[in-house]
């Protein structure tokens, strides 16, 4: 029975969640919102985020004003790391989300937040998804890791271990910190795309435990307010190596469910 549960799962079909990009629907006010968010984040993140992130912004030409056209951005990304971007209407369920990652496809919300409330976000918009995630998808170690998390996530969800893999994803890819040349840096997309929480993660009086698979998997997360703690990896490379070495058997043994 146990052996049956942990065999590789069939990949769920994620294609039903993809919608047409319809870039023309974005108004001048939407593009202005993007530009204000972009300028504010880049200025704040300089020297505070892992270096490959800033390299990715430049390599993908993300500094151009306005909400990027997804097809063009996706083509540039594909040339660099074989990842592609698709438009979605909102949150994709875990099993299909991990199946996308396994195919080197990343979902991008087809909307942007209200420009009157730059810091309010009910669910991930295109600024979070593009600015937060795509620069590191252009970095080979992260590109490999995200695909590996996709494969593991598909199998984990099928084996009833979705919570464990979601926690690990959350505490690294979304809200992780990492050391770089001895300095604390932002790693996660949820922090990279949030003005207030990026500062809080680096400077607020909150616990910053060293990242381990065991501790991160044992730590539940909150998705409606700032995190009560931030895991710190010894380096971005260390985080990717630790997570890439994880197997479903090891995940099951953690006993998180
Ligand atoms: Fe995200």
User: Into how many domains does the chain fold?
Assistant: 1
Report how far ligand 1's centroid is from the alpha carbon of 190 (Å): 6
Residue 255 is predicted with a pLDDT of 81
In CATH, what number is assigned to the domain containing residue 69?
1.10.800.10
Q: What is the DSSP letter of 47?
A: T
pTM for this model (two decimals): 0.94
Query: 133: domain range?
Result: 2-254
Report how far ligand 1's centroid is from the alpha carbon of 192 (Å): 10
Residue 191 is predicted with a pLDDT of 96
Contact 231, 215 (CB under 8 A): yes
Q: In 45-123, which ranges are E strands?
A: 84-88, 105-109
Report how far ligand 1's centroid is from the alpha carbon of 91 (Å): 10
Report how far ligand 1's centroid is from the alpha carbon of 249 (Å): 26
Contact 101, 168 (CB under 8 A): no
What is the full per-residue pLDDT of the chain (257 aa) written as tens digits? 333 344 556 788 999 999 999 999 999 999 999 999 999 999 999 999 999 999 999 999 998 899 999 999 999 999 999 999 999 999 999 999 999 999 999 999 999 999 988 887 788 999 999 999 999 999 999 999 999 999 999 999 999 999 999 999 999 999 999 999 999 999 999 999 999 999 999 999 999 999 999 999 999 988 778 999 999 999 999 999 999 999 999 999 988 86
Report how far ligand 1's centroid is from the alpha carbon of 174 (Å): 6
Report how far ligand 1's centroid is from the alpha carbon of 16 (Å): 20
Report how far ligand 1's centroid is from the alpha carbon of 81 (Å): 19
Measure the N-to-C terminal CA separation of the chain; round to a whole number of Å: 16
Distance, CA of 51 to CA of 12 (rounded, Å): 34
Residue 8 is predicted with a pLDDT of 58
Residue 118 is predicted with a pLDDT of 86
Report how far ligand 1's centroid is from the alpha carbon of 103 (Å): 17
Distance, CA of 132 to CA of 142 (rounded, Å): 13
How many residues does the structure list for the chain?
257
Distance, CA of 225 to CA of 229 (rounded, Å): 12
Report how far ligand 1's centroid is from the alpha carbon of 133 (Å): 7
Distance, CA of 152 to CA of 165 (rounded, Å): 8
């Amino acid at each position: 029975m146990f052996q049956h549960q942990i065999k590789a799962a069939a990949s769920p079909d994620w294609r039903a969640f993809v919608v047409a990009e319809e870039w023309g629907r974005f108004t001048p006010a939407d593009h202005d919102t993007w530009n204000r968010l972009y300028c504010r984040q880049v200025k704040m993140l300089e020297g505070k985020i892992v270096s490959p992130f800033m390299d990715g912004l430049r390599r993908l030409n993300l500094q151009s004003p306005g909400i990027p056209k997804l097809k063009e951005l996706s083509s540039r990304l594909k040339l660099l790391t074989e990842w592609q971007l698709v438009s979605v209407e909102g949150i994709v369920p875990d099993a299909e989300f991990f199946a996308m990652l396994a195919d080197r496809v990343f979902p991008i919300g087809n909307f942007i937040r209200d420009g009157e409330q730059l810091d309010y976000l009910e669910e991930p918009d295109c600024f979070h998804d593009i600015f937060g995630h795509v620069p590191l998808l252009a970095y080979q170690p992260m590109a490999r890791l995200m695909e590996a998390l996709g494969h593991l996530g598909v199998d984990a969800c099928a084996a009833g271990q979705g919570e464990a893999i979601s926690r690990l994803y959350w505490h690294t890819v979304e809200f992780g910190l990492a050391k770089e040349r001895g300095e604390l840096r932002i790693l996660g997309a949820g922090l990279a795309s949030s003005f207030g929480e990026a500062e809080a993660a680096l400077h607020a009086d909150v616990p910053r435990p060293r990242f381990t698979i065991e501790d991160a998997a044992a730590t539940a997360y909150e998705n409606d307010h700032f995190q009560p703690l931030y895991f710190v990896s010894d380096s971005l490379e260390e985080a990717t190596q630790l997570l890439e070495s994880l197997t479903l058997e090891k995940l099951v043994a953690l006993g998180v469910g």
